[in-house]
Amino acid sequence: MSEDVQYRLMQRKLLQNPKAVLAGARKGSQMEIMVLSNAWTMPPGVVSLDEAMDVFLLHLQEKRVPSNTADKFCHTANLAFASMVGLSKAGPLLPEDGPLVQMLLDAWPGIYKWSVYLFSTRIEGLERTDTRRRATLDVLSAFWYTIEHRDCIREAMVKSPGTIEIATRLWLEEDGGPIPTTMDSPAGTCVLGNMLKFADKEALNRVLRVAGGKAGEVAKLSIARLQRALKGPEYNAIHITIYMDFINSISRVPSHPLRHALLSANIIWVVTTALTKISVLIHTSRDPGFLTSMVAAFGYLRNCLESTEGFTWVAQSVGAGLLQAICDCSPRFRSVDPDDYVMIKDTVGDILPRYLVFRTVIEAVETALNKIEHSPQKKRVEESIIWPEWKRFTELARERVLIMSQIDAFKGHSTTCDNIQCQKVGPREMFRRCSACLTTFYCSKECQAVAWKEGDHKTMCKLKQRERAEGRSAPVSKRDYQFAHYFSMFDARMHIAELRRAARRDFPHTPLHELVISIDHTTLPPTYGVKDLKTYRVEPLAAAAPGESTMALEARNDALIEKVQQHPDRFTLVEMAVPAGQGTHIVLALATGELWGKEDADEDEPDVLSRALGPKGTLHGGDAKMRRIIARLMKVVRDDPVLKGLLSEEGSRQEQ
């Protein structure tokens, strides 16, 4: 009688007399346990979960593991292998906790030793072309994936030596090698991803060691699998979610090489483009699993957008279609778990607005919003539950775009001579630039000579050159830093009344020119305050990104502070804190002239800024919000004769 015939007869016996098959399997009958392991769940109810577990865990006892690994396919090893096959089918039936889960946890020491035995004999001990090796990879992956879904078992697995290493090997060989897998789901990814669910640095280091220390290769393989799942034409929501969750797991530690490798491989762009595709599938597919994929993508972005200096990844994600994806997904936000919605809402209402202090981000957001303005996406988000956060974000973005345009218009028209005895203000073409530091301007050779000999430029020039040499890893790009410098001035002038009130409240007996203006854009809304110039210093860790060389930057900041402290009547120091990933970056700007203005400034001064911008209706269609912003921007130039003159001239030209 052939083995196939015997197998079919045993299947019939299982349906007719399951207790007899259970007894035979318990005694170690190869045919009974083979049928039981493959068919005990079909049809449901013929064999109970506790009956099946009782047999399978018997053959996975620690004492049954052979001491000799020479015979890879001995009878006890075959029984253990079949038991793993049987238990891998228990996933949907296994409760979250209770006696059966405890039974499985108690059996873990034996399961662990059998797993190590089968891995060493049938995976490491066989050629890659051997079908039995592929079968062992698949069975071990499916079995571990089933049992680790219970938290107590996963914790026991992670604590056992070698499990993360074995799981990494299962992941690496999930879909590689000459023999393809027979599994429908990427179980290797599930196993390792779940083990790393709460991974610390050491756990990720263990993964990296198995991968030969090649973080870039791990990142490349992770991204390739996700992109393959997104190619279609058939999309599997479960697979997309599994790959997305795995990438989230290996990105868990912000400073780890695996996260940096993923960022270098453009993972933010990849995940955002995946989200744009998912934002279509959640409407066109009947599979509700795409909603879980959407949450996984938003989760990754929420966790990783603020990596390193932050603004690079925020700008990259916006450029890849994040804002459009938010609009397209917004009708489904009511369907997600409340905790997941809070995560999405934080992205729109907290992360994105805080980074609107960087020119790179503002430009990317402006481009995206212009596309959304005349598309169906605008109506989708207006009718969704996230509309209040979206509305506040877009209003702030439009305000920053307007400020950026004004900064561009003014830049170069109000250059100041760096000679403290002169401080002439005028258009940039009237000035000569220092050829060494490239950042300081003088109205004449004489002023440049005086600043070098009698001023502080000899010191500052060297510090600026040194800082430029270290700037290859600067936390903020030169272009963004220049914008932040100008923006801090605009921001201070726009909120000068609030700053005066803070000065009267916190330093009632201190002259205004002996105070530092302090603006904090790391929180929403930003805060405006003052600090004592005499005791002021910049915290070293706030000045630059972690791990960056900061000596030149710190020295230049110290020199700048000292310059203001020596001449408080000629300069005002403006400190602006901006988000830098998990930290803070401080931008120091030096204002010349009387930034504080007059206490009794005329609030009814003609709106020269509005006049310069043109008649009502030419900017944003006469938007009332924009008109209010323009009115606020007028305060920027109220105490600056150069800007006021420039605007009046521009307004006159428009009227002619």
Q: What is the model's pLDDT at position 550? A: 57
Q: Which residue has the tokens 């258009």?
A: 427
* Burial track 383-393 (b if 16+ CB lie within 10 A, e otherwise): ebebeebbeeb
Cis geometry, peptide bond prior to residue 233 (ω within 30 degrees of 0): yes
Residue type, 554: E
Contact (CB, 8 A) for 545 and 308? yes
58-67, 196-205, 432-441: lowest mean pLDDT where?
432-441
Q: What is the model's pLDDT at position 641? A: 47
Contact (CB, 8 A) for 379 and 341? no
> Phi, psi (5° rounding) for residue 317?
-65, -45
Q: What is the model's pLDDT at position 423? A: 78
Would strands 571-580 and 515-520 be described as parallel, antiparallel, or unpaired? parallel
265-274, 283-292, 564-573: lowest mean pLDDT where?
564-573
Q: What is the model's pLDDT at position 150? A: 92
Residue 584 β-bridge partners:
579
Q: What is the DSSP letter of 595?
A: T
Residue type, 211: A
Residue 515 β-bridge partners:
532
153-162, 340-349, 584-593: lowest mean pLDDT where?
584-593
pLDDT in tens, 79-119: 999 999 999 999 889 998 999 999 999 999 999 999 999 99
CA quadruple 425, 426, 430, 432: dihedral sign? positive
Residues 267, 273, 278, 281: what is their CA dihedral angle, to the nearest 10 degrees? -150
Residue 134 or 620, more confident: 134
Contact (CB, 8 A) for 298 and 253? no
* 50 pLDDT above the threshold of 70: yes
* 584 pLDDT above the threshold of 70: yes
Cα distances (Å, whole numbers) of residue 73 to 55, 125, 265: 20, 11, 43
Q: What is the model's pLDDT at position 631? A: 54
What the block records as the tokens of 93 is 């039936």
Q: What is the DSSP letter of 580?
A: E
Residue ranges of alpha helices (H) inside 424-545 are 445-453, 457-469, 478-494, 496-506, 540-543
Q: Which residue has the tokens 């030596």?
A: 161
Residue type, 198: F
Contact (CB, 8 A) for 311 and 355? yes
Give CA angle at 66 (63, 67), nearest 5°.
Answer: 100
pTM attached to this predicted model: 0.83
**Mean per-residue pLDDT for 198-220?**
96
For the beta carbon of residue 25, count every other beta carbon within 10 angstroms: 29
Q: What is the model's pLDDT at position 656? A: 39
Instruction: Measure CA of the first residue to CA of the last residue in the chain; give whole Å.
Output: 106
Q: What is the model's pLDDT at position 466? A: 66
253-257, 265-269, 357-361, 559-563: lowest mean pLDDT where?
559-563
Tell me which residue of 138, 45, 24 sits closest to 88, measured CA to CA.
138
All residues at 6 or more sequence positions from 268 whose CB lies less than 8 Å from its CB, including other chains: 301, 304, 305, 313, 316, 317, 320
* 606 pLDDT above the threshold of 70: no
* 428 pLDDT above the threshold of 90: no
What the block records as the tokens of 597 is 């203005």
How many Cα atoms within 13 Å fall on the side-chain side of residue 540? 9
Complete DSSP assignment for 82-107: HHHHHHTT-GGGS-SSSHHHHHHHHT
Q: What is the model's pLDDT at position 650? A: 38
Secondary structure class of 576 (helix, strand, coil) = strand
Cα distances (Å, whole numbers) of residue 98 to 59, 94, 107, 294, 585: 22, 10, 14, 32, 51
Cis geometry, peptide bond prior to residue 546 (ω within 30 degrees of 0): no
All residues at 6 or more sequence positions from 362 whose CB lies less than 8 Å from its CB, including other chains: 356, 397, 400, 401, 404
56-65, 130-139, 463-472, 591-600: lowest mean pLDDT where?
463-472
* 643 pLDDT above the threshold of 70: no
Q: What is the model's pLDDT at position 19? A: 95
Rounded to whole angstroms, how far apart are CA atoms 241 and 289? 8
Tell me which residue of 204, 115, 109, 197 sits closest to 150, measured CA to CA.
197
Rounded to whole angstroms, how far apart are CA atoms 530 and 589? 14
Residue 538 or 278, more confident: 278
Rounded to whole angstroms, how far apart are CA atoms 207 and 199? 11
Rounded to whole angstroms, how far apart are CA atoms 280 and 294? 10
pLDDT in tens, 395-417: 999 999 999 988 887 765 667 78
Q: Which residue has the tokens 């004592």?
A: 532
pLDDT in tens, 146-189: 999 899 999 999 999 999 999 999 999 998 789 999 888 999 99
Rounded to whole angstroms, how far apart are CA atoms 350 and 392? 10
Residue ranges of alpha helices (H) inside 285-418 are 289-304, 311-319, 322-329, 338-346, 352-354, 359-373, 376-382, 387-410
Q: What is the DSSP letter of 612?
A: H
Q: What is the model's pLDDT at position 630? A: 57
pLDDT in tens, 364-377: 999 999 999 999 99
Average pLDDT over all residues of the chain: 86
Q: What is the model's pLDDT at position 644? A: 46
Secondary structure class of 456 (helix, strand, coil) = coil
pLDDT in tens, 10-42: 989 999 999 999 999 999 999 999 999 999 998
Residue 359 or 602, more confident: 359
Give CA angle at 566 (562, 570), nearest 5°.
Answer: 110
pLDDT > 90 fraction of the chain, expressed in percent and rounded: 65
If residue 5 lies in a helix (H) or strand (E), which one and from where to where?
Answer: helix 3-16
Q: What is the model's pLDDT at position 360? A: 93
Residue 592 β-bridge partners:
571
pLDDT in tens, 475-517: 567 788 889 988 998 899 889 999 999 999 999 999 999 999 9
* Burial track 523-543 (b if 16+ CB lie within 10 A, e otherwise): eeebebbbbebeeeebeeeeb
pLDDT > 70 fraction of the chain, expressed in percent and rounded: 86
Q: What is the model's pLDDT at position 646? A: 39
Rounded to whole angstroms, how far apart are CA atoms 556 and 420? 17
Helix and strand totals (H; E) in the chain: 33, 8
If residue 22 lies in a helix (H) or strand (E), which one and from where to where?
Answer: helix 18-27
SS (H, E, C) 161-222: CCHHHHHHHHHHCCCCCCCCCCCCCCHHHHHHHHHCCCCCHHHHHHHHHHCCCCHHHHHHHH
Would strands 527-532 and 571-580 be described as parallel, antiparallel, or unpaired? unpaired
Residue 294 or 4, more confident: 294
Rounded to whole angstroms, how far apart are CA atoms 629 and 399? 7
Contact (CB, 8 A) for 318 and 365? yes
* 473 pLDDT above the threshold of 50: no
Distance of CA 499 to the CA centre of its chain: 34
Q: Which residue has the tokens 């228990």?
A: 90
What the block records as the tokens of 59 is 């053959």
**Mean per-residue pLDDT for 213-219?**
96
